[in-house]
Amino acid sequence: MSLPAAADPGVGAALEPPAATGRPRGYGRYALGKVAGSLASLGFVLVVNFFLFRVLPGDPARTLGRGRFTTDEQLDAFNETYGLDQPLPQQFLTFLGNTLTGDLGVSLRYRVPVSELIWDRLWPTLMLVGTATLFAALIGIWLGVHAAWRRGGPLDRISTSASLTVYSMPEWWLGLLLIAALSVGIGPLPGLFPTGGLRSVDADPSSLAGVLDTAWHLTLPVFTLTLAYLADYALVMRSSLLDEIGEDYLTTARAKGLRDKVVRNRHAVPNALLPTTTVVALNFGFVVAGAITVETVFSIPGLGLLATEALEVPDYWVLQGVFLVASAAVIVANLAANLLYGLLDPRVRT
């Protein structure tokens, strides 16, 4: 569980000149280096995405038109309309130019601008995965702290084995179980939650009732994902706090007569939080990538689902757009973690 190393993207590090002196550099220079590295990563992703998806087998016109486009003429009309008849270098230049001006192209399947499509699908994903990540982090840290502090106690035993059990369950299966139990209802238990979707047909999304309705729809999927993510945080927090428990400064604190709770919260936990911070920061970067299986089970129109389905066509522009946004999120989260580290721990700047 030694994840801190992952906070350095490697790309950023490679671009920096080797430090000539052992003296810590200024924060400005450190930050600049990291930002430049992140930009380079983004540029790299942009180029790779284009060619990566062109290597995919299949031809959009043929996938979409199977059984519909019966003449060559129809195939040509489709390819011409969406610029697929152009030579690849030409398409690449168009793609670069468009992306730089903020135009992500038009989806071959849905025939709407990709940026609109991503915007529509971003919110469900953020609400689902973001909320679940937040809950999992908060509850996980709480569980980890308490489990480690009373190592071998009932909470430790129960939470460690329970979170490991849930962790090893496939998310979709957990989701299906929850639907069967809490949505349809078992025995005397009534169906409390909807089986899927984001909102009721009548709900006005802009009203308070509409917001509550969406929260009601998201309860089960968020619960599923929170359970699935929980172990990650609980275990990291638990093990890093255990590392601290034997330290001398805690003995000192106790010797000063501080209450057990204060020793834990003021002295031990802050020092043990660093690895968990890394995990949280990284996972927030991955929020945008969505949670494909849970989105599928609960029929939540998120980015994960959008990307998976775009692969079938392959819908080049959608794939490029989603991957760009997802990579950008990870790179930004990574950058944020790096910048934060530089502030928290000056040793990192060397």
Contact between 74 and other proteins (CB under 8 A)?
A: yes
Of 40-48, 184-192, 244-252, 319-327: span binding other proteins (CB under 8 A): 184-192
The interface with other proteins within residues 2-61 (CB under 8 A) comprises 56-59
Classify the phi-psi angles of 122: left when phi > 0, otherwise alpha if psi is within -120 to 50, otherwise beta: alpha
CB of 170 to other proteins, least distance (A): 13
- In terms of Cα–Cα distance, which of 80, 128, 82 is closest to 109? 82
Contact between 312 and other proteins (CB under 8 A)?
A: yes
Contact between 130 and other proteins (CB under 8 A)?
A: no
Of 88-96, 183-191, 332-340, 341-349: span binding other proteins (CB under 8 A): 183-191
The interface with other proteins within residues 191-220 (CB under 8 A) comprises 191-203, 209, 212-213, 215-216, 219
Of 19-27, 38-46, 161-169, 175-183: span binding other proteins (CB under 8 A): 175-183
CA–CA separation, 10 and 274 (whole Å):
19
Nearer to other proteins, 24 or 210 (CB): 210
HSE of 124, CA atoms in CB hemisphere, 13 A:
26
CB of 9 to other proteins, least distance (A): 32
- In terms of Cα–Cα distance, which of 291, 176, 273 is closest to 229? 291
Contact between 77 and other proteins (CB under 8 A)?
A: yes
Nearer to other proteins, 2 or 207 (CB): 207
CB of 272 to other proteins, least distance (A): 21
Residue 20's Cβ-count burial label (10 Å; 0-12, 13-18, 19+) is exposed
Q: Torsions phi, psi of 326, nearest 5?
A: -65, -45
Classify the phi-psi angles of 198: left when phi > 0, otherwise alpha if psi is within -120 to 50, otherwise beta: alpha
CA–CA separation, 58 and 63 (whole Å):
7
Q: How many residues of this chain interact with other proteins, rule: CB under 8 A?
A: 78
CA–CA separation, 58 and 66 (whole Å):
12
CB of 176 to other proteins, least distance (A): 6
Nearer to other proteins, 94 or 299 (CB): 299
